[in-house]
Amino acid sequence: MPQLNPSPWLNILIFSWVVFLALLLPKILTHNFPYEPNPESAGALEPLPWIWPWH
C-alpha cells in the first residue's frame, strides 16, 4: 500500500510548515486592528435583571 510510505508525505509536511513559519506567520503577527478598545472608553457594564420565570 503506497499510502503507508511516509517518505513523500513527511517531506510535504515539513515543507508546508517551513513555508507557514517563514512566510505567513510574520504577516499574521504584524497585523493590527484599526479600532482597538482602550480602557478609558470602556464603561462599567450594568448587569441586566433576571426576567426568566422560575418553573
For residue range 1-52, what is the model confidence (pLDDT) as tens digits? Answer: 556 777 788 889 999 999 988 998 888 888 877 777 677 666 677 788 888 7
Question: What's the pLDDT at 7?
Answer: 76
- The rounded distance, in Å, linking the Cα atoms of 31 and 51 is 42
For the cut 70, the answer to whether the pLDDT of residue 55 exceeds it is: no
**Against a cut of 0.75, is the pTM above it?**
no
Q: How far is CA 28 from CA 14, 22, 54, in A?
A: 20, 11, 48
Q: Which residue has the cell 418553573?
A: 55
Domain ranges of the chain: 7-31
